Structure 1
């Protein structure tokens, strides 16, 4: 087994559990293989990095990093919304991280990032024209900031050549295991079993809930009306009249605040309810289809597959594990 050097970039506010997961996974890989095959080097713009929870981590400076690296992992940093991420990208430590990561990529080093760390790759232009994922809850803002990225936030991990992106904070686990899997699939499986963790291939369940949740009085009232009649046909003109507005006005409001037409919004509500029932596991897919207004279970299966990239059986299996 060849010796591997893995650079892990840190900035102030680094997400504690994400960083710890990365370090623990490679330490466990060394322990299980009985070697020191994976050398993890922490790098930053300063010699000491303070995590989001106040832990202090020694780090080698970017400009003093010696020798070649086999992989670079960009960890996420704490931010409550996309605006905070954008603000952090203006800080000197993030600018230094972007510059160093771009240089490493130019030297053909595989680069991987999770959560807010994916914005580092986006800011460096590394994801332009490539498939990628990011944390589901700021996916829309990420796409707006980097329109040339082929973003699909349904997935927890997306590989695109020598680049890998991963989703929300705990997807650091998936990212580190994916890097380990590139080198030794069997060892990655042993590490996952040893740490009692498993792959989370999809973030789509969270996206469905996120996209259906809109904070607007008219839209919330429309949602309540639709939800009360999901098992039958949804009479949009009648609902609009009951809400004291026209169908055209309702359509304009829905499009403005959710980016969806009334029919698309109704479909999202049907899907959200169907997924809740699937996960509950008390009804057949045929019964669920009828409860959410579909005459055919096949239609519902197709919708789930299209929106989530997975099937009903996989969703039920995830609930039972």
Structure 2
């Protein structure tokens, strides 16, 4: 059984800690056995987090026998990790243990010197700070995770889950990783690890916004032909005023919002059915399959065909009706 130690420090971010716990706990071999044993460990028996105090059974000695160590992110107010923690991570790295970070947990690895000369990532909002503090690290702010072999880093909590699925696939193969992804209700990355699939959620709109009725109408009419003029008429605003309100309240334009809503609808249909690409193009409001493929790829970074295959954990060649 592969031992996974999640190293929790004071001010740990709960979501960053939960993502790897969920992934490795859900993993199952074809005969139903659990291939991973997950343990939380810390420098002290109690660890503070956002609104919670965690009681941790294992100390830093758990790192000595772990096959994989996960370092979750911490809040902005947290101080530097202790010398004992950094020394324990260095010793584990020297012993060949696989070590990975979630979100700003990359700062802990950098403090330990484990990222020197390596390419690494972290949450995009902290990428500049990581590069400033640790110029010896090649920071890649536009990827979900970086695998250097022994050392891995990921962006936010969701990207940490992507990274864990990647490690599971590396350890146990695509079938086990695909099953784990389905249990976690997330897509699995494409074979080869090059393309990541992100659900493009719309920016939140303040409750009570004058755009809410229009956005509800758009969601109900994605399959139809919707123009900026039609949106403006529906909302009782001029096109110029509507565009300004959209930028103020969603950070994007009306037509870009509509495109993302259609892509999101297409992602749902690709993930939850076996309709043809042509039918999904019509249902999501793209008109033609050609326009659908081009716009989907522009937003998601891969084709509808490959997206469906990766989510279902199959090769693109065998995806149904694609």
TM-score bucket of the superposed structures, by smaller chain: 0.5 to 0.7
Deviations 1:133-177 (A, max 9, x none): 7xxxxxxxx423434654457x5x5425632326647955x6456
C-alpha distance 50-201 of structure 1, shift in aligned 2 (>3 A)? same
1:41-190 equivalences under 5 Å are 43-49=41-47, 56-61=55-60, 72-75=69-72, 88-91=75-78, 95-96=81-82, 100=86, 104=90, 111-114=99-102, 118-122=103-107, 130=119, 132=121, 142-147=123-128, 150-152=140-142, 158-159=146-147, 162-165=151-154, 168=157, 175-176=163-164, 178-179=166-167, 185=171, 188-189=172-173
Q: Which runs of 5 or more residues in structure 1 are unaligned?
A: 77-84, 134-141
Partner residue in 2 for 1:214: 205
SS of residue matched to 2:213 = helix
SS of residue matched to 1:299 = helix
Contact map agreement 1:99 1:124 (CA 8 A) in 2: no
Residue 201 of structure 1 pairs with residue 188 of structure 2: yes
Contact map agreement 2:266 2:284 (CA 8 A) in 1: yes
Q: Which runs of 5 or more residues in structure 2 are unaligned?
A: 132-138, 190-195, 315-322
Deviations 1:58-107 (A, max 9, x none): 3334xx8997987532146xxxxxxxx6xx34245x744997299749x7
Partner residue in 2 for 1:136: none
CA RMSD of aligned residues (A): 5.2
Residue 192 of structure 1 pairs with residue 201 of structure 2: no
Partner residue in 2 for 1:233: 225
Residue 223 of structure 1 pairs with residue 215 of structure 2: yes
Shift of 1:297: 0.3
Counting matched residue pairs gives: 280
TM-score using structure 2 length: 0.60
Partner residue in 2 for 1:8: 6
Give the distance between the partners of 2:45 and 2:64, measured in 1 at CA.
Answer: 18
Give the distance between the partners of 1:249 and 1:127, measured in 2 at CA.
Answer: 50
Deviations 1:294-318 (A, max 9, x none): 3320221233333334443455454
Shift of 1:121: 1.2
Query: Normalized per residue, which structure has more helix?
Result: 1
TM-score using structure 1 length: 0.60
